[in-house]
Amino acid sequence: DTGVSQDPRHKITKRGQNVTFRCDPISEHNRLYWYRQTLGQGPEFLTYFQNEAQLEKSRLLSDRFSAERPKGSFSTLEIQRTEQGDSAMYLCASPERGEKLFFGSGTQLSVL
């Protein structure tokens, strides 16, 4: 157990629906990352937070995607009007002792 919790573990939705994922990072760690991973690929960076501030966003993060981290604790990633191409594993990570990222088990999204 890395201490990073993600919920839900699996999500099946129909195209066009909105979905929201939650991440609870290692407590007291001020940085939190979201990555996306498709089958056979390495994790691709989406966005990261330092406390409640969203400091960087990837070009992968279209305007249908939004992430928040109220109060600098847990974070949510919302995808609006889901498309089949959004099907992927969404990973959350937070660092311990510097840059070393610890990942949660991810949320597997399937868009039908």
Partner 1 sequence: GESVGLHLPTLSVQEGDNSIINCAYSNSASDYFIWYKQESGKGPQFIIDIRSNMDKRQGQRVTVLLNKTVKHLSLQIAATQPGDSAVYFCAGYLSGGSYIPTFGRGTSLIVHP
**Where along the sequence are the contacts to partner 1 (CB under 8 A)?**
2, 4, 31, 33, 35, 40-45, 48, 55-56, 91, 93, 95, 99-106, 108
Name the minimum Å distance from CB 76 to partner 1: 18
Name the minimum Å distance from CB 106 to partner 1: 5
Q: Which of 17, 44 has the CB closer to partner 1? A: 44
Q: Which of 66, 105 has the CB closer to partner 1? A: 105
Name the minimum Å distance from CB 47 to partner 1: 10
Name the minimum Å distance from CB 18 to partner 1: 24
Q: Which of 74, 103 has the CB closer to partner 1? A: 103
Q: Which of 77, 91 has the CB closer to partner 1? A: 91
Q: Which residues contact 4 (CB under 8 A, 6 or more apart)?
A: 23, 24, 25, 26, 92, 93, 94, 102, 103, 104
Backbone angles phi, psi at 84, to 5 degrees: -60, -30
Read out DSSP for 54-104?
A: EEEE-TT--TTEEEE-GGGS-EEEEESS--GGG-EEEEEEEESSSS-EEE-
8 upstream amide cis, omega within 30 of 0: yes
